[in-house]
Amino acid sequence: MHDMIEIDISLIKLGKPLDFAVYKADGSLLLNKGHMVQSEQQLEQLVKRGMFMKKSDKAGASADDKKKVVENVYSPFFVMEELHKRFTNMYAAISSSKTDALERVEKLTKALILSVKKDTDAYLGYIHIPREEIADSKMHAISYAIISYAVGSFLQYDEARLNRLVKAALLANIMFTRLHEKLNHSEKKLSEQQREEVNKHPQQSVEKLKLIGVTDDVLLKIIAQHHENVDGSGYPQQVKGEAILQEAKLINACEHYLSKVIGRGYRPPQLSNTVLRDLYQNTQKDPQEIVYIAMLKALTVYPPGTLVKLANEEVCMVARRTDAATAPEVRAIFNARGAAYRGAVARDTSKPEFKVTGPVLLEKLPPIKFPVLWGYKENQ
Protein backbone atom coordinates (compact mmCIF):
# COMPACT_ATOMS: atom_id res chain seq x y z
CA MET A 1 0.00 0.00 0.00
CA HIS A 2 2.93 2.37 0.54
CA ASP A 3 3.43 2.82 -3.23
CA MET A 4 -0.26 3.67 -3.71
CA ILE A 5 -2.04 6.98 -3.20
CA GLU A 6 -5.75 7.59 -2.95
CA ILE A 7 -7.55 9.29 -5.84
CA ASP A 8 -9.92 12.17 -5.21
CA ILE A 9 -13.29 11.64 -6.90
CA SER A 10 -12.93 14.95 -8.78
CA LEU A 11 -10.08 13.44 -10.83
CA ILE A 12 -12.53 11.10 -12.55
CA LYS A 13 -14.30 12.89 -15.41
CA LEU A 14 -17.36 11.08 -16.79
CA GLY A 15 -17.02 10.17 -20.46
CA LYS A 16 -13.33 11.14 -20.65
CA PRO A 17 -10.30 8.78 -20.83
CA LEU A 18 -8.42 8.28 -17.58
CA ASP A 19 -4.89 9.70 -17.45
CA PHE A 20 -3.85 6.91 -15.10
CA ALA A 21 -4.76 3.35 -14.16
CA VAL A 22 -7.07 2.86 -11.15
CA TYR A 23 -6.31 0.23 -8.53
CA LYS A 24 -7.86 -1.16 -5.34
CA ALA A 25 -6.03 -0.58 -2.06
CA ASP A 26 -4.39 -4.02 -2.30
CA GLY A 27 -2.88 -3.14 -5.69
CA SER A 28 -5.25 -5.14 -7.89
CA LEU A 29 -6.23 -3.36 -11.11
CA LEU A 30 -9.72 -1.88 -11.42
CA LEU A 31 -9.46 0.24 -14.59
CA ASN A 32 -6.75 0.62 -17.23
CA LYS A 33 -5.36 3.98 -18.26
CA GLY A 34 -7.57 5.37 -21.05
CA HIS A 35 -10.73 3.71 -19.74
CA MET A 36 -13.82 5.93 -19.64
CA VAL A 37 -16.19 5.95 -16.65
CA GLN A 38 -19.58 6.45 -18.26
CA SER A 39 -22.10 6.90 -15.41
CA GLU A 40 -22.58 8.23 -11.89
CA GLN A 41 -23.56 4.71 -10.81
CA GLN A 42 -20.24 3.30 -12.00
CA LEU A 43 -18.37 6.11 -10.29
CA GLU A 44 -20.26 5.47 -7.04
CA GLN A 45 -19.22 1.82 -7.12
CA LEU A 46 -15.60 2.84 -7.63
CA VAL A 47 -15.78 5.16 -4.62
CA LYS A 48 -17.21 2.34 -2.50
CA ARG A 49 -14.37 0.01 -3.56
CA GLY A 50 -11.71 2.65 -3.01
CA MET A 51 -9.71 4.23 -5.87
CA PHE A 52 -5.93 4.39 -5.87
CA MET A 53 -3.13 5.19 -8.32
CA LYS A 54 0.55 4.33 -8.29
CA LYS A 55 2.82 7.09 -7.03
CA SER A 56 4.72 6.87 -10.30
CA ASP A 57 1.51 7.87 -12.14
CA LYS A 58 1.13 11.00 -10.05
CA ALA A 59 3.87 12.71 -12.06
CA GLY A 60 1.57 12.72 -15.09
CA ALA A 61 -1.21 14.58 -13.29
CA SER A 62 -1.67 18.34 -13.61
CA ALA A 63 -0.60 20.67 -10.79
CA ASP A 64 -4.22 21.16 -9.74
CA ASP A 65 -4.91 17.43 -9.84
CA LYS A 66 -1.84 16.69 -7.72
CA LYS A 67 -3.36 18.72 -4.90
CA LYS A 68 -6.42 16.47 -5.02
CA VAL A 69 -4.46 13.26 -4.54
CA VAL A 70 -4.53 12.29 -0.87
CA GLU A 71 -1.92 10.07 0.74
CA ASN A 72 -3.37 6.62 1.39
CA VAL A 73 -5.36 6.26 4.62
CA TYR A 74 -4.67 3.74 7.34
CA SER A 75 -6.83 0.67 7.66
CA PRO A 76 -10.15 1.39 9.39
CA PHE A 77 -9.21 -1.40 11.78
CA PHE A 78 -6.28 0.75 12.94
CA VAL A 79 -8.26 4.00 12.81
CA MET A 80 -11.01 2.59 15.04
CA GLU A 81 -8.47 2.05 17.79
CA GLU A 82 -7.35 5.66 17.42
CA LEU A 83 -10.95 6.91 17.46
CA HIS A 84 -11.50 4.94 20.66
CA LYS A 85 -8.48 6.63 22.26
CA ARG A 86 -9.77 10.04 21.19
CA PHE A 87 -13.23 9.27 22.57
CA THR A 88 -11.71 8.16 25.90
CA ASN A 89 -9.81 11.44 26.16
CA MET A 90 -12.87 13.44 25.13
CA TYR A 91 -15.00 11.66 27.71
CA ALA A 92 -12.46 12.42 30.46
CA ALA A 93 -12.38 16.08 29.41
CA ILE A 94 -16.18 16.35 29.45
CA SER A 95 -16.47 14.54 32.77
CA SER A 96 -14.01 16.98 34.33
CA SER A 97 -15.48 19.99 32.48
CA LYS A 98 -12.04 20.85 31.11
CA THR A 99 -11.65 23.95 28.98
CA ASP A 100 -10.65 21.92 25.91
CA ALA A 101 -13.62 19.52 26.12
CA LEU A 102 -15.64 21.21 23.37
CA GLU A 103 -12.60 21.39 21.11
CA ARG A 104 -12.09 17.64 21.57
CA VAL A 105 -15.72 17.03 20.61
CA GLU A 106 -15.34 19.00 17.39
CA LYS A 107 -12.05 17.31 16.44
CA LEU A 108 -13.37 13.79 17.09
CA THR A 109 -16.52 14.47 15.06
CA LYS A 110 -14.54 15.75 12.08
CA ALA A 111 -12.00 12.93 12.28
CA LEU A 112 -14.71 10.27 12.35
CA ILE A 113 -16.60 11.76 9.41
CA LEU A 114 -13.45 12.13 7.28
CA SER A 115 -12.39 8.56 8.03
CA VAL A 116 -15.76 6.86 7.53
CA LYS A 117 -16.44 8.80 4.34
CA LYS A 118 -13.36 7.19 2.73
CA ASP A 119 -14.53 3.59 3.25
CA THR A 120 -17.94 3.33 4.90
CA ASP A 121 -18.22 -0.39 4.12
CA ALA A 122 -15.06 -1.23 6.06
CA TYR A 123 -16.22 0.74 9.11
CA LEU A 124 -19.63 -0.91 9.00
CA GLY A 125 -17.77 -4.20 8.67
CA TYR A 126 -15.76 -3.49 11.80
CA ILE A 127 -18.99 -2.93 13.75
CA HIS A 128 -20.68 -6.12 12.57
CA ILE A 129 -17.80 -8.63 12.77
CA PRO A 130 -18.80 -11.30 15.32
CA ARG A 131 -16.66 -11.10 18.46
CA GLU A 132 -16.46 -13.17 21.61
CA GLU A 133 -16.01 -10.09 23.79
CA ILE A 134 -18.67 -7.37 24.08
CA ALA A 135 -17.55 -3.93 22.91
CA ASP A 136 -17.27 -1.26 25.59
CA SER A 137 -19.62 1.70 25.85
CA LYS A 138 -17.18 4.05 24.12
CA MET A 139 -16.96 1.77 21.08
CA HIS A 140 -20.76 1.58 21.11
CA ALA A 141 -20.97 5.37 20.84
CA ILE A 142 -18.51 5.40 17.94
CA SER A 143 -20.55 2.64 16.28
CA TYR A 144 -23.79 4.64 16.67
CA ALA A 145 -22.03 7.54 14.97
CA ILE A 146 -20.84 5.38 12.07
CA ILE A 147 -24.28 3.91 11.41
CA SER A 148 -25.83 7.37 11.76
CA TYR A 149 -23.37 8.68 9.18
CA ALA A 150 -24.26 5.88 6.75
CA VAL A 151 -28.01 6.49 7.09
CA GLY A 152 -27.71 10.28 7.14
CA SER A 153 -25.67 10.12 3.93
CA PHE A 154 -28.33 7.91 2.36
CA LEU A 155 -30.92 10.54 3.36
CA GLN A 156 -28.69 13.14 1.65
CA TYR A 157 -28.21 15.29 4.73
CA ASP A 158 -26.08 18.33 3.96
CA GLU A 159 -22.64 18.70 5.57
CA ALA A 160 -23.82 20.74 8.56
CA ARG A 161 -26.74 18.44 9.33
CA LEU A 162 -24.57 15.33 8.98
CA ASN A 163 -21.96 16.84 11.30
CA ARG A 164 -24.63 17.57 13.92
CA LEU A 165 -26.10 14.06 13.60
CA VAL A 166 -22.74 12.34 14.09
CA LYS A 167 -21.89 14.62 17.01
CA ALA A 168 -25.23 13.85 18.67
CA ALA A 169 -24.65 10.12 18.24
CA LEU A 170 -21.25 10.43 19.93
CA LEU A 171 -22.58 12.49 22.83
CA ALA A 172 -26.11 11.20 23.42
CA ASN A 173 -25.05 8.79 26.18
CA ILE A 174 -22.14 10.76 27.62
CA MET A 175 -23.72 10.64 31.12
CA PHE A 176 -24.70 7.00 30.73
CA THR A 177 -21.26 5.59 29.90
CA ARG A 178 -20.47 3.92 33.23
CA LEU A 179 -23.90 2.33 33.70
CA HIS A 180 -24.00 1.34 30.04
CA GLU A 181 -20.71 -0.50 30.52
CA LYS A 182 -22.12 -2.37 33.50
CA LEU A 183 -25.38 -3.29 31.77
CA ASN A 184 -23.63 -4.58 28.65
CA HIS A 185 -21.87 -7.23 30.72
CA SER A 186 -24.66 -7.98 33.17
CA GLU A 187 -26.52 -11.26 32.88
CA LYS A 188 -29.55 -9.75 34.61
CA LYS A 189 -32.21 -7.44 33.27
CA LEU A 190 -32.58 -3.88 34.54
CA SER A 191 -33.49 -3.32 38.17
CA GLU A 192 -35.96 -0.56 39.05
CA GLN A 193 -33.15 1.67 40.29
CA GLN A 194 -31.19 1.12 37.08
CA ARG A 195 -34.28 1.87 35.02
CA GLU A 196 -34.62 5.21 36.80
CA GLU A 197 -30.98 6.03 36.03
CA VAL A 198 -31.48 5.06 32.39
CA ASN A 199 -34.53 7.31 32.11
CA LYS A 200 -32.58 10.30 33.40
CA HIS A 201 -29.52 10.09 31.16
CA PRO A 202 -30.76 12.05 28.10
CA GLN A 203 -31.43 15.18 30.15
CA GLN A 204 -28.31 14.67 32.26
CA SER A 205 -26.24 14.52 29.08
CA VAL A 206 -27.84 17.75 27.87
CA GLU A 207 -27.05 19.54 31.14
CA LYS A 208 -23.45 18.34 31.15
CA LEU A 209 -22.93 19.46 27.56
CA LYS A 210 -24.28 22.91 28.38
CA LEU A 211 -21.67 23.13 31.15
CA ILE A 212 -18.81 22.61 28.69
CA GLY A 213 -20.15 25.27 26.34
CA VAL A 214 -22.46 23.52 23.87
CA THR A 215 -24.94 26.13 22.62
CA ASP A 216 -26.46 24.36 19.61
CA ASP A 217 -30.11 24.07 20.64
CA VAL A 218 -30.93 21.60 17.84
CA LEU A 219 -28.06 19.33 18.87
CA LEU A 220 -29.22 19.42 22.49
CA LYS A 221 -32.80 18.70 21.45
CA ILE A 222 -31.72 15.65 19.44
CA ILE A 223 -29.90 14.30 22.48
CA ALA A 224 -32.81 15.07 24.81
CA GLN A 225 -35.24 13.23 22.50
CA HIS A 226 -33.17 10.24 21.40
CA HIS A 227 -35.19 7.81 23.54
CA GLU A 228 -38.64 9.24 22.83
CA ASN A 229 -41.16 7.22 20.81
CA VAL A 230 -43.75 8.50 18.38
CA ASP A 231 -46.59 6.98 20.46
CA GLY A 232 -45.44 8.74 23.64
CA SER A 233 -44.07 5.59 25.28
CA GLY A 234 -40.47 6.82 25.36
CA TYR A 235 -38.52 8.81 27.94
CA PRO A 236 -37.81 11.14 29.63
CA GLN A 237 -40.60 13.53 28.53
CA GLN A 238 -42.96 11.18 26.63
CA VAL A 239 -42.77 13.43 23.56
CA LYS A 240 -45.08 12.30 20.74
CA GLY A 241 -45.35 12.31 16.97
CA GLU A 242 -43.89 15.05 14.80
CA ALA A 243 -42.47 16.86 17.83
CA ILE A 244 -39.63 14.32 17.81
CA LEU A 245 -36.78 15.33 15.52
CA GLN A 246 -35.86 12.92 12.73
CA GLU A 247 -32.24 12.79 13.92
CA ALA A 248 -33.41 11.72 17.39
CA LYS A 249 -35.45 8.89 15.85
CA LEU A 250 -32.43 7.84 13.81
CA ILE A 251 -30.08 7.67 16.80
CA ASN A 252 -32.75 5.77 18.73
CA ALA A 253 -32.98 3.26 15.88
CA CYS A 254 -29.17 2.93 15.72
CA GLU A 255 -28.95 2.21 19.45
CA HIS A 256 -31.77 -0.33 19.29
CA TYR A 257 -30.21 -2.01 16.27
CA LEU A 258 -26.72 -2.27 17.70
CA SER A 259 -27.84 -3.54 21.10
CA LYS A 260 -29.70 -6.41 19.40
CA VAL A 261 -27.02 -7.22 16.79
CA ILE A 262 -24.11 -7.20 19.25
CA GLY A 263 -26.08 -8.59 22.18
CA ARG A 264 -25.61 -8.08 25.89
CA GLY A 265 -24.63 -10.25 28.82
CA TYR A 266 -28.19 -11.46 29.30
CA ARG A 267 -29.13 -11.52 25.60
CA PRO A 268 -27.36 -13.28 22.70
CA PRO A 269 -26.79 -11.49 19.37
CA GLN A 270 -29.56 -11.53 16.77
CA LEU A 271 -29.38 -11.63 12.99
CA SER A 272 -29.03 -8.15 11.53
CA ASN A 273 -31.75 -8.63 8.93
CA THR A 274 -34.19 -9.72 11.66
CA VAL A 275 -33.46 -6.59 13.70
CA LEU A 276 -33.75 -4.36 10.61
CA ARG A 277 -37.08 -5.99 9.76
CA ASP A 278 -38.33 -5.31 13.29
CA LEU A 279 -37.22 -1.68 13.04
CA TYR A 280 -39.02 -1.38 9.72
CA GLN A 281 -42.23 -2.32 11.52
CA ASN A 282 -42.02 1.09 13.20
CA THR A 283 -43.33 2.55 9.96
CA GLN A 284 -46.75 1.20 10.97
CA LYS A 285 -46.69 3.47 14.03
CA ASP A 286 -44.98 6.34 12.22
CA PRO A 287 -46.03 6.07 8.56
CA GLN A 288 -44.68 9.48 7.53
CA GLU A 289 -41.18 8.80 8.83
CA ILE A 290 -38.59 7.59 6.31
CA VAL A 291 -35.79 6.87 8.79
CA TYR A 292 -36.62 3.19 9.21
CA ILE A 293 -36.78 2.29 5.53
CA ALA A 294 -33.68 4.47 4.98
CA MET A 295 -31.80 2.46 7.60
CA LEU A 296 -32.77 -0.80 5.91
CA LYS A 297 -31.72 0.50 2.50
CA ALA A 298 -28.49 2.11 3.74
CA LEU A 299 -27.25 -0.96 5.62
CA THR A 300 -28.88 -3.41 3.17
CA VAL A 301 -30.26 -6.84 4.03
CA TYR A 302 -26.72 -8.17 4.54
CA PRO A 303 -24.55 -5.41 6.05
CA PRO A 304 -20.75 -5.57 5.78
CA GLY A 305 -19.19 -7.74 8.47
CA THR A 306 -22.16 -10.09 8.76
CA LEU A 307 -22.06 -13.75 7.79
CA VAL A 308 -24.10 -15.37 5.03
CA LYS A 309 -24.49 -18.83 3.51
CA LEU A 310 -24.32 -19.37 -0.24
CA ALA A 311 -26.15 -21.80 -2.50
CA ASN A 312 -23.02 -23.98 -2.55
CA GLU A 313 -23.15 -24.19 1.30
CA GLU A 314 -20.07 -22.00 1.84
CA VAL A 315 -20.15 -19.49 4.69
CA CYS A 316 -18.94 -16.02 3.75
CA MET A 317 -18.34 -12.66 5.34
CA VAL A 318 -19.93 -9.70 3.61
CA ALA A 319 -17.24 -7.19 2.61
CA ARG A 320 -19.12 -4.52 0.69
CA ARG A 321 -22.61 -3.43 -0.26
CA THR A 322 -23.58 -3.34 -3.92
CA ASP A 323 -26.44 -1.85 -5.92
CA ALA A 324 -28.11 -5.26 -5.67
CA ALA A 325 -29.00 -5.42 -1.98
CA THR A 326 -29.28 -9.22 -1.95
CA ALA A 327 -26.01 -9.79 -3.85
CA PRO A 328 -23.25 -8.25 -1.72
CA GLU A 329 -19.52 -8.56 -2.29
CA VAL A 330 -18.41 -11.46 -0.08
CA ARG A 331 -15.37 -13.49 0.96
CA ALA A 332 -15.75 -17.22 1.63
CA ILE A 333 -14.24 -18.28 4.98
CA PHE A 334 -15.73 -21.81 5.40
CA ASN A 335 -16.20 -24.42 2.71
CA ALA A 336 -19.34 -26.53 2.28
CA ARG A 337 -18.03 -29.11 4.78
CA GLY A 338 -17.44 -26.47 7.44
CA ALA A 339 -13.66 -26.40 7.14
CA ALA A 340 -12.00 -22.98 7.30
CA TYR A 341 -10.18 -21.67 4.24
CA ARG A 342 -6.58 -20.53 4.58
CA GLY A 343 -7.58 -16.99 3.78
CA ALA A 344 -10.71 -15.51 2.22
CA VAL A 345 -11.95 -16.38 -1.26
CA ALA A 346 -13.98 -13.84 -3.26
CA ARG A 347 -17.33 -15.11 -4.58
CA ASP A 348 -19.59 -13.46 -7.15
CA THR A 349 -23.02 -13.62 -5.51
CA SER A 350 -24.74 -12.54 -8.71
CA LYS A 351 -24.07 -16.04 -10.06
CA PRO A 352 -26.62 -18.78 -9.22
CA GLU A 353 -24.03 -21.13 -7.71
CA PHE A 354 -22.90 -18.41 -5.29
CA LYS A 355 -26.30 -16.88 -4.56
CA VAL A 356 -26.82 -15.79 -0.95
CA THR A 357 -29.44 -18.03 0.66
CA GLY A 358 -29.55 -16.26 4.02
CA PRO A 359 -27.66 -14.93 7.05
CA VAL A 360 -25.98 -17.09 9.68
CA LEU A 361 -24.64 -16.61 13.21
CA LEU A 362 -21.48 -18.36 14.36
CA GLU A 363 -20.12 -18.48 17.89
CA LYS A 364 -16.51 -18.63 16.76
CA LEU A 365 -14.58 -17.62 13.64
CA PRO A 366 -11.28 -18.99 12.34
CA PRO A 367 -8.23 -16.70 12.52
CA ILE A 368 -8.93 -14.04 9.89
CA LYS A 369 -6.83 -11.08 8.76
CA PHE A 370 -9.82 -8.76 8.72
CA PRO A 371 -8.11 -5.70 7.16
CA VAL A 372 -7.17 -7.87 4.17
CA LEU A 373 -10.86 -8.68 3.54
CA TRP A 374 -11.38 -4.97 2.83
CA GLY A 375 -8.24 -4.52 0.74
CA TYR A 376 -5.83 -3.28 3.38
CA LYS A 377 -2.54 -4.70 4.60
CA GLU A 378 -2.72 -6.49 7.93
CA ASN A 379 -0.38 -4.08 9.72
CA GLN A 380 -1.50 -0.85 8.05
Evaluate whether residue 65 is within a structural domain.
yes
Residues 172 and 232 in one domain: yes
Evaluate whether residue 191 is within a structural domain.
yes
Domain boundary among 71, 92, 114: 71
Q: Which residues contact 364 (CB under 8 A, 6 or more apart)?
A: 132
pLDDT of 200-251, one tens digit each?
999 999 999 999 999 999 999 999 999 999 999 999 999 999 999 999 999 9
Range of the domain at 319: 307-373
Residues 60 and 94 in one domain: no
What radius of gyration do the chain's Cα atoms show?
A: 22
d(CA 375, CA 175): 37
Q: How confident is the model at residue 3 (pLDDT cuts 50, 70, 90)?
A: low
Residues 100 and 199 in one domain: yes
Least confident of 34-38, 59-63, 121-125, 314-318: 59-63
Query: Is residue 184 scored above 70 in pLDDT?
Result: no
For residue 19, give the nearest of 48, 46, 56, 47 by alpha carbon. Answer: 56
- Positive or negative CA dihedral for 340, 345, 346, 352? negative
For residue 307, what are the β-bridge partners? 317, 360
pLDDT score for 314: 96
pLDDT of 53-109, one tens digit each?
886 665 445 444 444 433 345 688 889 999 999 999 999 999 999 999 999 999 999
For residue 125, give the nearest of 343, 341, 342, 368 by alpha carbon. Answer: 368
Domain boundary among 276, 299, 322: 299
Count of other CB atoms within 10 angstroms of residue 62:
10
283 or 356, higher pLDDT: 356
Least confident of 180-189, 200-209, 369-378: 180-189
Q: How far apart are the first and last CA of the chain?
A: 8
Q: How confident is the model at residue 42 (pLDDT cuts 50, 70, 90)?
A: confident
Residues 121 and 44 in one domain: no
pLDDT score for 52: 82
pLDDT of 151-180, one tens digit each?
999 999 999 999 999 999 999 999 987 777
Residues 133 and 257 in one domain: yes
pLDDT of 287-304, one tens digit each?
888 999 999 999 999 999
Residues 41 and 115 in one domain: no
Residues 184 and 212 in one domain: yes
Residues 206 and 314 in one domain: no
Q: How confident is the model at residue 331 (pLDDT cuts 50, 70, 90)?
A: very high
Query: Is residue 23 scored above 90 in pLDDT?
Result: no
pLDDT of 267-291, one tens digit each?
788 999 999 988 888 878 888 889 9
Evaluate whether residue 83 is within a structural domain.
yes
For residue 310, give the nearest of 332, 342, 343, 286 by alpha carbon. Answer: 332
Evaluate whether residue 380 is within a structural domain.
no
Residues 26 and 125 in one domain: no
Number of structural domains the chain divides into = 3
pLDDT score for 177: 78
CATH number at residue 126: 1.10.3210.10
pLDDT score for 112: 95
Evaluate whether residue 378 is within a structural domain.
no
Residues 256 and 202 in one domain: yes
Residues 196 and 317 in one domain: no
Residues 12 and 156 in one domain: no
Evaluate whether residue 66 is within a structural domain.
yes
Domain boundary among 71, 95, 128: 71
Query: Is residue 113 scored above 80 in pLDDT?
Result: yes
The shares of helix, strand and coil residues in the chain, as percent rounded to the nearest 5, are 50, 15, 40
